[in-house]
Structure 1
């Protein structure tokens, strides 16, 4: 079963952090590790990788550190860049590629059906299609897109859910944060954007 694939140690660490944080934050600020039925989320739930997006696309505080660490390993073990001996046809001296499945992060490979690279006028994108049965907060999730601009700033993290996902049970966990704009020096509200037509949640950076 997918729920048994991920190591229980990682999820247990999140539970311990949540309990420890109770002395430093109000109950409304604590991250929820339970499903709608009040039971702990299954070990294979993609919450372990993407829950930082719920916190205004920031994931600020030590409760999110473990989640961000898993997310970074997940990306870095799957997607790589190499330098080229000579510029390619686009006059680029680098190339992005997908690593062999054998090098993907242990425990996550069985959850991933396919990984592909897409390029357009704005972004280079890695599209990860999840295996059947993979969920985020107990709702079926189909894909994760990691977008970035080579040699520039900005990009996006996108979670694409199945058409039959109960998005209200997911959206209630996503909150707004006051974030500093380093260009203007002003504060602004930041939150994952929900696209109802495509059933996606997107965090821009």
Structure 2
């Protein structure tokens, strides 16, 4: 009898968890800003004395960098957190974060980050966090390092003014350096696991100041 009672309690607990998860998925995402992707190795590279910013082509030739390798870490100079996998389909809503090609205007590198609706029942707005990243290499290897962050609150999907976040970083000189955009999407009142999306890797005649 006692064994049957324990089995029944286990079934009830499992059922309660199944009920609780969808409720959490529709809860407010009030955790604050998404964490920055980091790892110990990436942080060591970003803080190495011999760090220098290089083009993607130079990183490939001199440091053995693989531009097509799975995304690892993207440290900023003063933040740390967990490496997270993008989750762009969650509880009947499918969306994605987008970054256009980084570009230089008036002596500054910049990128636009926004979100797109794909299918399902999604909130009509989202908060966007866009990181502008430059490629840095040292004797330890190469990593993408956040240079500037832009945010946009409660924006509807799509690109264009009023839809995107635009971080800027001044150029110190015209040396060629690899740049890319990293985008986090926080759907309004819709909890989901944070995870970044990435734009194209582009060499620009701009080394970060």
Question: Which structure has more RCO (C-alpha within 8 Å, separation ≥ 6)?
Answer: 2
**Higher Rg:** 2
Greater helix fraction, Structure 1 or Structure 2: 1
Same fold at TM > 0.5: no
Output the TM-score relative to the length of structure 1: 0.29
